[in-house]
Amino acid sequence: AQSVTQLGSHVSVSEGALVLLRCNYSSSVPPYLFWYVQYPNQGLQLLLKYTTGATLVKGINGFEAEFKKSETSFHLTKPSAHMSDAAEYFCAVTSKRGTDKLIFGTGTRLQVFP
Amino acid sequence: AAGVIQSPRHLIKEKRETATLKCYPIPRHDTVYWYQQGPGQDPQFLISFYEKMQSDKGSIPDRFSAQQFSDYHSELNMSSLELGDSALYFCASSLDTAEQYFGPGTRLTVT
């Protein structure tokens, strides 16, 4: 079975500050990990993914995440927050089988203050 | 690049009515997934199809059914609608990889 835990349902940062959104996973098989962003009343946009290879993954809009197997974590970071980063962020896990469903975390709402 | 298309984008139905949601996957993608996202919640997997055959089933009510057609588009049929069915319904598609591409969603409101 697979699951994802996102610590902190709400995170607030000042514009220009570091963004850190936490995600821990549980998986009995090697996982594929994803971060999605959802703006109000919109769909899910893929920010970045970890499948195999390099454990530090760079995504769109300056975000990156590092897969740490020993810590079963896949935290999302961005060095400098921008007002446009305010959104809901979902961490998700699936297996490597390729046709498996995504299991989502409960989401973290990021607020960015000027 | 072509994306996943969902229709309609918005749908308002009354209790006990029926609704049909449509999904057109990215061309050549062979797997379609349906997710339901309630207000303030994370997306929950409903059902998936691989090469037109049901491949997995999640927490989908018996009142709901889905199928994938020969042209790979999929339809989610929802009967005896309840207020609790009000949600955003996403379709996603993939091709031989774990990366799923999501459509914009259909917002269903049951009154």
Q: Which residues pair with B19 in a beta bridge?
A: B78
CB contacts, 8 Å: A36 with chain B = 102
For A85-103, write each residue's pLDDT tens digit: 999 999 999 876 666 889 9
For B6-63, write each residue's pLDDT tens digit: 999 999 999 999 999 999 999 989 899 999 999 989 999 999 999 999 999 998 999 9
Whether A99 and B94 lie within 8 Å, measured CB to CB: yes
Cα separations in angstroms, A9 against A12, A106, A109, B70 = 10, 7, 6, 42
- Residue A56 pLDDT exceeds 80: yes
The predicted pLDDT at position A86 comes to: 96
For residue A60, with 0-12 CB atoms within 10 Å meaning exposed, 13-18 middle and 19 or more buried, which class applies?
exposed
Asked if A67 contacts A74 with a C-beta cutoff of 8 angstroms, the reply is yes
Peptide bond into B43 cis (omega under 30): no
Q: What does the block give as tokens for B42?
A: 């994370």
Touching A: B residues 55-84, CB under 8 Å = 55-56, 58
Contacts of A6 (CB under 8 A, 6+ apart): A21, A22, A23, A89, A90, A91, A105, A106, A107, A108
For testing the chain B interface, which of A101, A104, A109 should be mutated: the one with the most B CBs within 10 Å?
Answer: A101
- B109 vs A: CB within 8 A: no
Q: From the list B33, B42, B50, which residue is nearest A107 (CB)?
A: B42
